[in-house]
């Protein structure tokens, strides 16, 4: 039987990456340089040429950052445009400041503004209207997949490529026992150049969670992070903590004074928590709750949304995430990272380990001040919530990379500004 190549529904040239990159180079790099012809000075003087090269490099860095981050789930392209552009153009500005090479300030500013404007125009005109349509082979564990929002799921009735027209990809449960005609269909789909996903991997990509139910399906090798990046990340964490420490100390002094004036008790709160490899560490935070005499059980360690123990200042600190700032001390002690799974109280960690399968594997990386679970789920207050949080933690460990860390930084800033997830 012969299958002809089936093409997806035609897409606008505006959403093609090559067109977007070429347009950004022309508008964000070449146009500011050509505009120099209308202004005093020469287009071919060192400052103008250096600025042309810098804007081109900034566009390339921003483009690379965008396509690297947009592969992760739950990403709105509009929320990545400005941070990616700031990253690219910020690198070039730092380069000029360090090297003292001549550059055109007006050209750099114009390149940044035109670059961002170009990307937002593309998004408004074409990208925000996009909605993925994926064909589903109707066998195996597909019920949970088709319940995921944000995708038009097309359940196939027969193994014909023609029935998957207009779909950007096909998904199937490879572990299910498929009829021979459906196995042949998947093979022919791959030969025809169609994208074919496995159910589990696509679900992880769309939800940002890795669920583990049976030891046989764990693939623990994929949950072990890259050791090279693990050690490099520790060095970067330490160096960045040293750089921001002088600025952080002034903020911490003001916050400590506000806490002492608002309620009785010390400004800092210390608690034993589970660190890397499950080793106990003392974590520092600003105190955000009134001191009350309660037995240290797992219930007293949990914080409800409207917990009466939270002080007025504490509520503001939690919303802005400033209460975590003293954990710079833990980073300087090589116990924590800026980004990673949140460290749980020792008592809660022991409890969760007994209640939730594979819970201890979240300790394979250093705990962090902010993490993938925090920007997706927020605070947890029970075993069911902890299970959901664990799925996000496993996703972070499985896809451990600088790009995922950068995305978490962007979304943490957004969380701080909106207060979502804070408790």
Q: What is the pLDDT of residue 228?
A: 83
- Separation CA 409–CA 415 (nearest Å): 10
- Rounded Cα distance between 207 and 376, Å, is 10
- CATH code of the domain in which 165 resides: 3.40.50.10700
Token look-up 């919303």 returns: 319
- pLDDT for res 218: 47
* Global confidence as pTM: 0.76
Beta partners for residue 284, in sequence order = 270
pLDDT value for 214? 54
Stated length of the chain: 423
Q: ∠ CA(169), CA(171), CA(176), 5° rounding?
A: 160
Q: What is the pLDDT of residue 341?
A: 93
Average pLDDT, the chain: 84
Maximum alpha-carbon separation in the chain: 81
The pLDDT assigned to 260 comes to 92
Has residue 412 been placed in a domain?
yes
Answer yes or no: do 277 and 339 share one domain.
yes
Domain annotation covers residue 62: yes
Domain tally, the chain = 3
Query: Is residue 419 pLDDT above 70, yes or no?
Result: no
**Tokens linked to 355:** 């209640």
Has residue 4 got a pLDDT over 60? Answer: no
Same domain, 193 and 275: no
User: 239 and 182 share a domain?
Assistant: no
Q: Looking at the structure, tell me whether residues 290 and 397 fall in a common domain.
A: yes
Of 207, 237, 255, the position where a domain reaches its end is 207
Q: What percent of the chain has pLDDT over 90?
A: 43
Q: How far is CA 19 from CA 79, 132, 140, 388, in A?
A: 20, 20, 39, 39
The Cβ of residue 422 has, within 10 Å, a number of other Cβ atoms equal to: 19
For residues 261 and 350, membership in a common domain is answered with: yes
In whole angstroms, what separates CA 297 from the centre of its chain?
A: 33
Question: Residue 366: what pLDDT?
Answer: 95
* Residue 218 lies inside a defined structural domain of this protein: no
Any idea which of 189-193, 280-284, 339-343 has the lowest mean pLDDT?
A: 189-193
Residues 203 and 242 in one domain: no
Better-scored residue on pLDDT, 9 or 327 = 327
**128, 158, 183 - which closes a domain:** 128
The 10s digit of each residue's pLDDT in 249-264 is: 999 999 999 999 998 8
Confidence of residue 279 (pLDDT cuts 50, 70, 90): very high
Backbone φ and ψ for 152, nearest 5 degrees, come out as -90, 110
Give the end of a domain, one of 128, 147, 180.
128
Q: How far is CA 374 from CA 388, 398, 420, in A?
A: 11, 17, 10
- Return the closest-CA partner of residue 145 out of 196, 202, 183, 194: 202
Residues spanned by the domain of 82? 13-128
Task: Specify whether 311 is located in the same domain as 362.
Answer: yes
In a domain, 219, yes or no: no
Q: Are residues 351 and 380 in the same domain?
A: yes
Q: Are residues 287 and 352 in the same domain?
A: yes
291/323: higher pLDDT: 323
The rounded distance, in Å, linking the Cα atoms of 190 and 202 is: 16
> Can you give the pLDDT at residue 296?
54
Q: Report if residue 220 sits inside a domain.
A: no
Which residue matches tokens 């040239």? 13
Q: Are both 123 and 170 inside the same structural domain?
A: no
Same-domain check for residues 121 and 139: no
Higher pLDDT, 347 or 108: 108
Decide if 182 is inside a domain: yes
pLDDT tier, 193 (very low <50, low <70, confident <90, very high otherwise): confident
- Stretch 217-225: mean pLDDT: 55
Q: Say if 6 falls within a structural domain.
A: no
- Report the SS3 class of residue 77: helix
Confidence grade of residue 5 (pLDDT, cut at 50, 70, 90): very low
Cα–Cα distance, 16 to 21 (Å, whole number): 9
Shared domain for 202 and 345, answered yes or no, is: no
- How many C-alpha atoms does 379 have within 13 Å on its Cβ side? 16
Residue 36 forms part of a structural domain? yes
Local structure of residue 292 (DSSP, 8 states)? -
Picking from 127-136, 153-162, 268-277, 391-400, which range would have the lowest pLDDT averaged per residue?
127-136
pLDDT digits (tens, 9 = 90+) for 62-97: 999 988 887 776 666 777 888 899 999 999 999 999
Q: pLDDT band at residue 319, thresholds of 50, 70 and 90? A: confident
């Amino acid at each position: 039987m012969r299958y002809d190549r089936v093409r997806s529904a035609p897409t606008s040239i505006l959403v093609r990456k090559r067109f977007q990159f070429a347009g950004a180079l022309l508008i964000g790099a070449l146009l500011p340089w050509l505009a120099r012809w209308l202004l005093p000075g020469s287009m071919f003087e060192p400052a103008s040429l250096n600025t042309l090269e810098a804007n081109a490099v900034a566009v390339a860095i921003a483009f690379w950052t965008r396509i690297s981050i947009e592969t992760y789930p739950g990403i709105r392209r509009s929320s990545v445009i400005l941070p990616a552009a700031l990253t690219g153009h910020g690198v070039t500005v730092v380069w000029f400041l360090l090297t003292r090479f001549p550059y055109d300030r007006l050209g750099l500013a114009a390149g940044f503004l035109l670059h961002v404007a170009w990307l937002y125009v593309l998004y408004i005109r074409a990208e925000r209207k996009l909605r993925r349509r994926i064909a589903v082979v109707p066998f195996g564990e597909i019920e949970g997949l088709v319940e995921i929002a944000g995708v038009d799921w097309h359940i196939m009735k027969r193994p014909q490529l023609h029935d998957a027209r207009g779909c950007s990809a096909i998904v199937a449960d490879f572990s299910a026992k498929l009829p021979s005609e459906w196995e042949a269909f998947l093979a022919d789909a791959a030969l025809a150049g169609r994208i074919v996903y496995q159910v589990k991997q696509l679900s992880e990509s769309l939800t940002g969670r890795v669920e583990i139910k049976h030891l046989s399906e764990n693939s623990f090798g994929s949950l072990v992070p890259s050791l090279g990046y693990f050690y490099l990340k520790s060095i970067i964490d330490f160096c960045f903590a040293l750089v921001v420490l002088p600025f952080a100390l002034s903020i911490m002094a003001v916050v400590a004074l506000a806490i002492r004036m608002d309620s009785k008790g010390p400004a800092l709160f210390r608690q034993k928590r589970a660190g890397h490899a499950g080793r106990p560490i003392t974590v520092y935070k600003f105190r955000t709750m009134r001191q009350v005499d309660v037995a240290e059980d797992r219930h007293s360690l949990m914080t409800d949304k409207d917990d009466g123990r939270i002080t007025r200042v504490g509520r503001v600190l939690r919303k802005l995430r400033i209460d975590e700032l003293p954990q710079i001390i833990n980073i300087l002690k090589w116990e924590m990272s800026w980004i990673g799974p949140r460290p749980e109280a020792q008592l809660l960690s022991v409890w969760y380990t007994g209640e939730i399968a594979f819970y201890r594997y979240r300790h394979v990386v250093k705990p962090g001040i902010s993490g993938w679970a925090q920007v997706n789920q927020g605070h947890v207050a029970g075993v069911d919530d902890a299970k959901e949080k664990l799925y996000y933690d496993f996703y972070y460990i499985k896809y451990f990379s600088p790009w995922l860390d950068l995305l978490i930084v962007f979304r943490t800033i957004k969380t701080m500004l909106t207060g979502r997830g804070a408790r």
